[in-house]
Structure 1
Amino acid sequence: MGPAEFIVLAFPEEQLRVAAVEAVMGLRKAGVVRLIDGLVATKTAGGEVLSAEFDEFVELRGLLAHREAAPLIGPEDVRESAELMDRGSCALLLVVEHVWAEDAAIAVRAAGGRIAGAVRLPADRLGAA
């Protein structure tokens, strides 16, 4: 298995934007990432935090049908993710495996190594470079 990551993709309204969802899911279809778990979180205008399974949304239905293990994203993850969200917005909470890095991860492990850490660099920081 390649490295996995928990990602929060926030949207400025309480409804998912289909074009953005399709672009993210296109990565899955292309084999770049494997979707391990996911939820939709909503932070209402009043500040209430709600979460829903993918199957509750037509555009996400069936994406996690292959999931055999217990869900990885729990209530604490939803609460922490909500801190990143504005009121009146929603987010896709995703656990993805970086399939593109799987061969490298296997080779590192076979050589007695391990993936010791990873840090996501913000786009604005990269743009400054």
Structure 2
Amino acid sequence: MTTTQSPTPTTEASGPIDFILLEFPRDRLTGAAGDALMDLVERGVIRLYDLMVVSKDDDGRVEVLEVTDPMSASGGFSYFAGARSGLLGDDDVAEAAGAMSPGTVAALIVYENSWAAPFVAAARESGGELIASARIPATEVMAALEDLEPSS
């Protein structure tokens, strides 16, 4: 079963495209992240372009794992076998591996925030144009929100 969705044609509005690299200790793989990702895709919240599972052994050797085997370290993501648009290449795998700790497995994911496509289309119809964008780390947001809470 292939869950790859075709990239949105350039004539249609699309949501922002992001990538994430999620690192997991080998002994804590449960498949829960794969289930949560599947839910986001099935509900149309995101459109998955690429998913690669990268393993880095204790000696630093790196391997891209096939996501087809539910019993492998990539098993939680086996539902997404074939999710490849061609956006990720060898350079991306090398950069991901450089960020990984030895003895871990990571999922390198490229996805579209498809929930935003209607907003993007409406903005374009009104002459709107994105002139800046940034990701605020969740830890910074949580710290700022905690600072706003009244002291007891």
Scaled by the length of structure 2, the TM-score of the pair is: 0.71
> Could you tell me the percent identity over the aligned residues?
37
In 2, Cα distance between equivalents of 1:44 and 1:113: 47
Q: Match for residue 11 of structure 1? A: 24
Q: Out of 79, 92, 99, which is 1:77 matched to?
A: 92
Structure 1 residue ranges without an equivalent (≥5): none
> Quick one: higher RCO (CA 8 Å, sep 6+), 1 or 2?
1
Q: Is the 8 A contact 2:56 2:101 kept in 1?
A: yes
In 2, Cα distance between equivalents of 1:8 and 1:90: 10
In 2, Cα distance between equivalents of 1:8 and 1:73: 12
Post-superposition offset of 1:18: 0.7
- Give 1:13's aligned amino acid: R
In 1, Cα distance between equivalents of 2:87 and 2:29: 22
Q: Is the 8 A contact 1:35 1:97 kept in 2?
A: yes
Deviations 1:39-83 (A, max 9, x none): 10111111011113433555434535576xx51111111111122
Please give the residue correspondences for 1:1-129 in structure 2 after superposition, counting only pairs within 5 Å.
1-13=14-26, 16-57=29-70, 59-61=76-78, 63=80, 65=82, 70-129=85-144
- Give 2:51's aligned amino acid: G
In 2, Cα distance between equivalents of 1:116 and 1:90: 36
Q: Is the 8 A contact 1:14 1:88 kept in 2?
A: no
Scaled by the length of structure 1, the TM-score of the pair is: 0.82
Aligned CA RMSD, in angstroms, stands at: 2.3
Structure 2 residue ranges without an equivalent (≥5): 1-13, 145-152
